[in-house]
Each structure stands twice: as structure tokens, then as C-alpha cells.
Amino acid sequence: MEPYRDPSKPVEERVSDLLRRMTLEEKIGQLCQYSGFTEEIEEAVKKGLVGSLLNVTGVENVNRVQELAVKGSRLGIPLLMGLDVIHGYKTIFPIPLAMASSWEPEVVRRAAEVAAREAAAEGIRWTFAPMVDIARDPRWGRIAEGFGEDPYLSSVMAWAAVKGFQGESFSPHPERVAACAKHYVAYGAAEGGRDYNTVDISERTLREVYMPPFKAAVAAGVATVMSAFNDLNGVPASGNEYTLKTVLKGEWGFRGFVVSDWNAIGELIVHGIAADGAEAAKLAISAGVDMDMVSDLYRRHLPDLVRSGVVPVEVIDEAVRRVLTVKFQLGLFENPYADPERAREIVKCREHLDIALEIARKCIVLLKNEGALPLRKDLKRVAVIGPLADDRDAPLGCWRALGDPNDAVTVLEGVKKKVSPATEVLYAKGCDVSSEDRSGFAEAVEVAERSDAVVLVVGEPAYMSGEAASRAYLDLPGVQEELVKAVWDAVKDAGIPVVEVVMSGRPLTIAWSAEHAPAILAAWHLGVRAGDALADVLFGDYNPGGKLPVTWPRTVGQVPIYYNHKRTGRPPAPDRFTSKYIDEDWRPLFPFGHGLSYTRFEYSNLRLEPERLEPGETLAVSLTVTNAGSREGDEVVQLYVRDLVASVTRPVKELKGFKRLTLKPGESRRVVFEVPSELLAFYDRAMRLTVEAGEYEVMVGSSSQDIRLRGGFRVTRTERFIASGRVSFTRALVL
């Protein structure tokens, strides 16, 4: 047996052996990825000129193509089959922004694990997830795909997602897929929130805000990273030697491979940094982009560029090594095929659908409740109204892989299953999501008036967020707000409780509702079991405990708005000449970390130890949380820190730890956060990663605005770090 085929040999040896046998064309072939399957691609696969395919799905298709590579090509190198498995494969989970609202890394890990199990069974061994782009701008539709605005929360979730997809350690396993941290880097900082737009941010913001989740993914062992579309401070991310080579592969020691985003290498020409395809290919490969997603420029130009000495063959070898390593690590040479029997058994199985329900419940955020919720199950009549009330498509959200809307449970169905047999459930659509037609209002009003409670389901359809779905307005699309007003006006005097369920892929500016509606739930796009999860929350079978991973603005004019902002020299105050607006409040509608419960939590007895922290030490922040209400419920305890005086301006607060816990009525638990001192590090004036000596404030609370306990500590000495891939997290214990 050739050494590269021998699974008992170390991966490095197998890679070297295989590399020695490859022609230049075959090597470059490993760096080429194409979408779908055509006759042309078939010919290329047989010649060993393709390394990966995306968007080829279905057990039979995958196996047929794979067989061409394994049996039909000279060296039999299997293809890496990729797909955007973002929040589920066929069992669709809540969108990532919703999963971040659970503030429970285990939720993200488990969803990724199930998605990987289903995808791998059908032969997909690589997902283009997690997306870990920080998003401070809800106009950007791709905010739906990530974990929100905070670098710390996103880093924890990035780590969890990678472990879920790849397993604790990345090694051959039939239920695992290679993950891909995308879109590296700062894609979420697009000017004006317009997708694909220019990004121009400081090196400090880049390193402190946009890079940390990628660094966490790398530390978790992510197999691949995707280079983004955007221009970053003048250099497009897919031709950026600094971010890819210096930082990612250098400082952080990333050993996997980099794939470009879709045709991002071709777009180097459009950006205006390459005159033609050959120059674009040269720029990308030299910058460290190992695999070309669909532009075909590597295949067309790299052979000549190498032969003419413009690109050293060592550069190609290095990229091929990285790609082959991932293929060996996945065990593809031993197990290249999908297993139809296993796929039939586990894809969309009962267990997975139940996990989807459990997860969906944890992602719901109770934004407001003046006592309307929970509803009683024995009401005479309940009205379920709104364009998304009986919609099967919206719950699946953007990027639903092979999700099928027919599997989704609507809110109307969920409510019908939940109420007592004697309860009549009335339904009216009211209007379409985004038309101007108000002719259904009358029916909606009539139905509401006849009911004892009204559930209004409004918001955005699935594809109003995700890629190429930037919005300039952030309100409820179409005439939905008018529908909400009409229904509310009709029933408010009768004291009929109205609950607004907002489905969306982003924060929406629902200031009118926030003022008038007695109760509001942020439901995001909750996946296949959306209706069941929402019914559980509406009728009190599940007490909501999600918290916002992103700030909800009052109006689009406040954007970008985020909790970890700088203080400015003139913080907002009653005086006119301070940092605010003359025509709108400067504060958000709902702050980062906000989310209510059907019970009440009290915080007490904050203790900090030690109060003088030496470099390398761990700060223990402990406190007591008590469920002071009469229902069991979940609280997310949030720990924020502020560096009071530093060499550069620091945010007013930064999340440094969090813990979701369940408490029975009257129950008290002690929560201990162990914060490693290096978590206080930031980039000083000379851009050195530093923990500065001085005073720090600690804030613990139920949201970034609802701070319940405050304390302080001192760092005794300044500590500097050399650049590395080291990542640390706060450990949270519940005693």
C-alpha cells in the first residue's frame, strides 16, 4: 500500500507522500472548488483537477461524484463536499442570532453537533459555518447569521460551534464535519450596513472587536477559515497578506486552510487591485488564500504563474498540504461515501426534532410584559392574527440548507395544540408581510374583538435578512405596524390582552409597539419547531429566559448603536452640548443583554477576590441570585468590567463573563466568575496587547443597562503579552 493510503501512518507523512506523487496541475486542482455538477466538472474531477465541490447534495449524487474522484482519478484523492449548513441541515434550528440569545454555549454546540451528524450522513463533510462576524449594524442583513454585537459572547459561541461541528478533537469520525469560520475579517463593519460594502476601521477596533471570535474559532481548532468579500482599510480581505498571513497563520498559528468567499478572488479585479485574472490569482495565493471558491482563476492561471517563476511552487505546496491535511483529518480517504441507511435513520429523526424544540424555547426573548403573559389555556377564544401567524417559511430563516418549510410548525398550529379542547382559536392574516393592501384589517379587527386574548405575529419573512438583504428601514415591513395599531385600538378598552410576537432576522425599530403593546416576544426565526416553542412560552409551559445579543435601536438614525461604546468627552446629559440627538433619545429601545422572565430575580452579596490583582492571577467575582417570584425560571447573570483610566479610551463596559441558570421559586444560588487577568487586556497606544495597572469597575446585572451590583478592584502592575493565538474565557460556577 502506498504510504498515503495507510491510515496507521501520521497525517504529515501521508500528506508528504501524496504531495510527492502529484503533478503541478493535480496540486492546483486541490485548490479549486466548484459549485454543482456539470459534464465539464465531471471531466475535471476524473483528471484530478478538483479539490472540492459545494452545493452537490443528496446521498446518490454525492456518492456518484465521489466515486469519480476516488476510483476514476489517478491518485484517488476524495473530494471535500461542502455546503452552507448554518443552523441545521434538514432539522432546522433557530438562526444563529437567535441561538446567541440563549446565552448558552451548549445550545450552539448541540445544534452544530446535530447538523453535522445529519450532513455527514448524507456525505457533506464541510460546512461554511460558523459565521462569527461581529455586527453592530442591524441594517446589514447578515446580522442574522452571526452571534451579535459582542466580541466576548461571540467568541464563546464561536468556540462552541466549532466543537459542535468538529467534535472535541478534530479526528476521523463519521458524524463530524470540518467547520469554517467566516467571513474573515470585519465583513460586518460594512459602511452604511450595505452588504459587500467597504470597511474602514482602526487596527484597534479590528483587533479588539472584529478579530476575537475568529481567534477563538482558531483556538478551538477550526479546520478552515473563509476570506471575506470586503475591502478592509484599502486591501480586500481575499488578497490581504496582513490579516491572512501575519495574523491568522502567523500570530495565531492557524494550521488549517483558507478558502475564499464565492468568487472573491475574481472580485479583486472589480475592487481595482488586480488588472486581470492572472494578477488576481497571484495576489490571492500570495496573500494566503489556499482554495479558490468558484472563480476558476487558480486553475486558469496558477500553472503558468508557477512555470514562469512568478509564484514559487513552495507556495502551492504549502496550500495543498493544508487542504490535504484536512481531508486526512476527516478520514475521507478511508470513508469517502455517504451512508444511505444511516441517513434514513437519523436525518430529521424524532430526537433531532425534539432538540430543535428545546433549543428554540431557550432562544425566545421576552422584551416587554405588563402582565399579559402568560396566557391562560382555558380562555374561550384566542385570536391568532398576522401575516406570519400561519407561515411555514419564515420560521426557517435564511440559509436553511435542505430544510423543508412543510416541516415547520406555525404559531397558529402551536396555539391550537396547546389550548384546552373547549377553546376556540380564531385566525386572520390581516395583511401580507410587505404589501400595501389593508383590505384584511377589518377581518383581523373583528376576530380580535370577539376574542379573550390576541396573539399578533408580525415581522420579517425569511429572506429579508441573510446575504444581500440589507435594509435602509428597520420597521415592520409593509403595513404591519398599521395592522398592530388597528387591532390594538379596537380591543384596548375592552382590556383584551394583546401579545406581539416579532419574527425577524435582526433588531427592528418597533418603538410604537414597545410603548403600547402589553407584551412583546422577540422570536427571531426559530426553526422547524417555532410554533411549538412559542406556544409553550405564550401559555406558560416554558418561562422565557433569552437575552438580546444585540442592541435594538429606537430608530435607524441611531445606528450603529451598541452597548460597549466609548464614553466620549461629553457623555449624554441634560445639557444640550453633550453627545445625543435633538430629535430622538440617544438610548436604545432594548439594550444588549435585555430579556425578561415570568419570575423575578434578586441579586445580592457581591464579593471580589482579590481586590488587588497581580498579573497572571484570576479575579473571583461571586454573588447570590435569588428567584424571588413564584415560578421556576432562567436568569442570565452578566458580568461587565470597565477600565476607569487607561492610556487609550476604553468602552463604558465590556462583557467578561455570563451564566444562564435555572432557579426554582425561592431558590438562591451563588454564582462565581473566575476571570483570568489576561481577559482585561487591550491594545495600548503602541498597539501592544496590555493589561494596564489601575482601577477597574465591576458591574453585575440582568442586562447591560440593568446593573444590580457594583464593585471595584485594582490591577497592581502592567502586563504585556506577545502576539499569540492564546484565548482565555471566564469560568462560571454555580454553587
- For ligand BGC, the binding residues (CB under 6 A) are 54, 84, 128, 182, 261-262, 467
Residue 174 zone, left/alpha/beta (φ > 0; ψ -120 to 50; rest): alpha
- Do 474 and 138 meet the contact criterion of CB atoms below 8 Å apart? yes
Q: Which of 84, 150, 261, 391 is labelled catalytic?
A: 261
The residues that bridge with 714 in the sheet, in sequence order, are 612, 695
Q: Which is nearer to ligand BGC, 467 or 632 (CB)?
A: 467
Query: What does each C-alpha distance from 31 to 1, 57, 117 come to in angstroms?
Result: 26, 21, 26
Contacts of 377 (CB under 8 A, 6+ apart): 418, 419, 420, 423, 539
Shortest spacing between CB 261 and ligand BGC, in angstroms? 5
- Do 555 and 586 meet the contact criterion of CB atoms below 8 Å apart? no
Grid cell in block for residue 78: 476524495
Backbone CA torsion sign across 562, 567, 572, 578: negative
425 sits in which H/E element: strand 424-428
Where do runs of H (alpha helix) occur along 494-608? 511-516, 530-538
- Do 15 and 325 meet the contact criterion of CB atoms below 8 Å apart? yes
Does residue 261 carry a catalytic annotation?
yes
Residue least distant from ligand BGC (Cβ): 128
Which DSSP string corresponds to 17-63? Answer: HHHHH--HHHHHHHTEEEES--HHHHHHHHTT--SEEES--SHHHHH
Contacts of 569 (CB under 8 A, 6+ apart): none
Please name the amino acid found at residue 477: P
Dist. CA 196–CA 55, nearest whole Å: 22
- Do 682 and 620 meet the contact criterion of CB atoms below 8 Å apart? no
Please name the amino acid found at residue 436: E
Which DSSP string corresponds to 641-670? Answer: EEESS-SS--BS-EEEEEEEEEE-TT-EEE
- Do 131 and 145 meet the contact criterion of CB atoms below 8 Å apart? yes
Q: Which is nearer to ligand BGC, 251 or 467 (CB)?
A: 467
Q: Is the peptide bond before 183 cis (omega within 30 degrees of 0)?
A: yes
Any idea what DSSP says for residue 406?
G
Please name the amino acid found at residue 253: G
Dist. CA 257–CA 499, nearest whole Å: 48
Cell 419574527 identifies what position?
A: 503
- Do 198 and 230 meet the contact criterion of CB atoms below 8 Å apart? yes
Nearest Cα residue to 660 out of 699, 679, 634: 634
Please name the amino acid found at residue 97: L
Shortest spacing between CB 383 and ligand BGC, in angstroms? 39
Please name the amino acid found at residue 4: Y
Q: Which is nearer to ligand BGC, 104 or 145 (CB)?
A: 145
Residue 565 zone, left/alpha/beta (φ > 0; ψ -120 to 50; rest): beta
Give catalytic residues, as residue numbers.
Answer: 261
